[in-house]
A and B are shown apart, each in its own frame.
Chain A
């Protein structure tokens, strides 16, 4: 944490709104992108980002600097997103398990088709869209950890702190999430090629 940020936190704790505003400005992009990719909906993302910062504000006096301020905020945002998705799931009354992390250990390992080369199969913008679509298909826990790693650029250590996980779990969860995303891209590319053939 920079000296400047520590100073802003101290001032915000003392009730200085402009200091808190600075903190929001610094962290809003990462928080918004986490909520956006977790919900897949800009309106929900805006609401959840707002809720995150309100909760940060209320809990600010309890922040003791044991972890980085940014990872503390991510942990709050992450909990808010998972709560939101859990409520959504209840509303939809989906019968499948919401967070079946046991699959992480016993799912059948499947490598994507080795003939698939994403940079050859997709235009750059298409690959971006396909990654976004693929993220939506992952379990909330896998999606969350990939967003933190690949979009928000957190290190393994920071992810451990934000999600309260052991480093080994972080490593293997990222790996599983990536593998599933690779499989999605491979399968999606197959469907795309088939559509293109039919279109001719």
Chain B
């Protein structure tokens, strides 16, 4: 029998053989090893049994899956043409919190502002908080008038995480701690509203000055390349989620 070290090398070949992904040369090597190794012959037999049996684990999805998906799609269509969805509202709440945070917290040090700019940012904060001024303008008053539990969570987050001696980098890292159901793969904080035109062409939900962007991994690079090419001052923060979502926050 071969040594265990030797067998470790062959387990990858056995697995690849089971999948029909072995080159002729490797097949010959494996065959020679199997002729003298009982353990690896047994391993091959087990892996083949699993390979043959596992497809039987496949189950039919419940019938309600399709109906649930299609009613959600229909609701999504209505939301796009009309009111603001609960999810969008959640993001709007996050924007309020983040913009407030950016105004009062060390994120400011990333984008030094003039007093005039500060006044603009405050206006954005207010407009996001006020249902009458939120864009898209169709936000239903009933939705916005009731503060959500998440909004309360945000307020708590703001009050505890803004500390005067922390570095901007540390505070930016704290963004990942936002108590938020739908966390993001990354956040981009932009220094100016103007650059949002760079995101034309992406399908994104636009709420006030925040873009929620579903993207694939290639597009992440595309987005950053666009920002670099336009010499935009931005801060990138890795989020907590591995899902393909980004949140772009612009500061006016």
Residues of A at the B interface (CB closer than 8 Å) are: 15, 17, 20-21, 24-25, 28-29, 31-33, 36-37, 42, 46, 49-50, 53-55, 57-59, 61-63, 66, 72, 75-76, 79-80, 82-83, 109, 111-119, 124, 127-128, 131-132, 146, 149-153, 156, 164, 171-172, 174-175, 178-179, 181-182, 185-186
Q: A31 vs B58: C-alpha distance in the bound complex, in angstroms?
A: 11
B219 interface hit (Cβ, 8 Å): yes
| Chain A residues closer than 8 Å to B76, beta-carbon distance | 54, 57-58
Q: A119 vs B4: C-alpha distance in the bound complex, in angstroms?
A: 25
Produce 1/0 per residue, B79-103, CB < 8 A to A.
0000000000000000000000000
Contact B60 A46 (CB under 8 A): no
Contact A131 B42 (CB under 8 A): no
Contact A131 B216 (CB under 8 A): no
Contact A62 B57 (CB under 8 A): no
Contact A178 B15 (CB under 8 A): yes
Determine the residue in chain B with the shortest Cβ distance to A172: B12
Contacts A17-B70, A150-B54, A175-B15 given; does A28 touch B216 at CB 8 Å:
no
Main secondary structure of the interface of B (DSSP, over half): helix
A163 to chain B, nearest CB (A): 11
Contacts A46-B65, A178-B47, A182-B47 given; does A151 touch B243 at CB 8 Å:
no
Q: A25 vs B43: C-alpha distance in the bound complex, in angstroms?
A: 38
Contacts A50-B68, A83-B242, A118-B49 given; does A174 touch B15 at CB 8 Å:
yes
| Chain B residues closer than 8 Å to A53, beta-carbon distance | 69, 72-73
Residues of B at the A interface (CB closer than 8 Å) are: 4-5, 7-8, 11-12, 14-16, 18-19, 21, 38-43, 45-47, 49-51, 53-62, 64-66, 68-70, 72-74, 76-77, 183, 202-203, 214-219, 241-244
Most B CB contacts (10 A, CB to CB) among A55, A119, A132, A175 go to A175
| Chain A residues closer than 8 Å to B42, beta-carbon distance | 111-117
Q: A57 vs B57: C-alpha distance in the bound complex, in angstroms?
A: 28
Listed A/B pairs (8) with beta-carbon separation below 8 Å: A20-B73, A29-B61, A46-B65, A109-B8, A111-B7, A117-B46, A150-B54, A186-B46
Contact A151 B203 (CB under 8 A): no
B199 to chain A, nearest CB (A): 12
Q: A150 vs B18: C-alpha distance in the bound complex, in angstroms?
A: 11
Determine the residue in chain B with the shortest Cβ distance to A182: B46
Contacts A37-B57, A76-B244, A112-B43 given; does A17 touch B15 at CB 8 Å:
no
Contact A178 B50 (CB under 8 A): yes
A129 to chain B, nearest CB (A): 9
Cβ-neighbour of A28 out of B5, B66, B183 (below 8 A): B66
Determine the residue in chain B with the shortest Cβ distance to A17: B73
Cβ-neighbour of A58 out of B54, B64, B214 (below 8 A): B214
The 8 closest A-B pairs by CB, nearest first: A32-B61, A175-B15, A150-B54, A59-B214, A114-B42, A109-B8, A61-B203, A79-B243
